[in-house]
Amino acid sequence: MSLTTEDKATFKRDGVLIRRGLATPDHVRQAISVIAKSYREGMAPEDIPAYSRRTFTPELGDSAELLSLYTQTGAAGLAADLLGATAPILTAQVQIRVPEAEFPGVQQVKAMHVDGVSCPHLDPQELRTFSLLVGVVLSDINEPRCGALHYLPGGHITMARWFSEEWSLGVTDQVPPEIDSEDGTAFLGRPGDVLLMHHLVPHTVGQNLKPFPRVMAYFRVSHPDHAGRRLEALRDPWLDYPPLADLPFAPDVKE
């Protein structure tokens, strides 16, 4: 499976592509079985804030059950279509939005942000950026109040301009005011659906008001040269995307 020129032009415009059912039921079942065991047996409520900033089930990050969601589903090939080449993926991030009724007040709504830049829990001078976020849905997300991720289509262009013209290392604002006030588009899906999102697309996540956990596996994918040019990649959205650099944007969708 590979991306068409139209797919790439759409990604260039929106910063996002969604592939429904890319991960098979077997891949999902194997992943959710190991996550559920760790969630039930190893998670203390006081650990949830730290896990929410980094990853749940950290001991499973390099497990075959989780890595196969990227390496054996076609997601790795799609990432390579966008970036041209990718650095090896050695670990998965698990993000769970726990039911608010079960753990009241433990997980707050996250502000609009891009990952690894001016994070409240990091030194403002520190960058932990990458090129492309690949997310695999592992539980039903059928409405925004399931703790859905919200993203801003096309926001990667605004963010690159802001990083280039107004932002500098040490600034604690994560996004400009016009982005911070946006609600974004809720990413809804079923287990096996896959999200490919440009690192610069601003996003947030809400509380989970449903009675069951919302579970996603994420993979932070980098162009092989990204680590040596993190600042430049914040300011040039196509630096890590050679196959897209000279491609025109897809036309805006008309209602």
- Closest alpha carbon to 154 in 194, 123, 198, 117: 198
At a CB cut-off of 8 Å and minimum separation 6, what does 163 contact? 200, 234, 235
Residues 119/171, Cβ–Cβ less than 8 Å: no
Residues 69/31, Cβ–Cβ less than 8 Å: yes
Q: What is the DSSP letter of 100?
A: T
Helix or strand or coil: residue 179? helix
Quick one: how many helices (H) and strands (E) in the chain? 8, 8
The conformational region for residue 25 under phi > 0 = left, psi -120 to 50 = alpha, else beta, is alpha
Helix axis angle, 75-83 to 5-14, nearest 10°: 80
Q: How far apart are CA 105 and CA 88, in angstroms?
A: 37
The pLDDT of residue 40: 77
List the CATH code of the domain at 5-237: 2.60.120.620
Tens of pLDDT along 216-225? 999 999 999 9
The pLDDT of residue 255: 47
Global confidence as pTM: 0.95
The pLDDT of residue 2: 87
Tens of pLDDT along 169-190? 889 899 999 999 999 999 999 9
- Closest alpha carbon to 79 in 10, 160, 135: 135
The pLDDT of residue 53: 87
Residue ranges of the chain whose pLDDT lies below 70? 42, 121-122, 124, 253-255
The pLDDT of residue 224: 98
Residues 82/199, Cβ–Cβ less than 8 Å: no
Domain boundaries, the chain: 5-237
Q: How far is CA 144 from CA 20, 107, 125, 211, in A?
A: 18, 16, 33, 14
The pLDDT of residue 126: 81
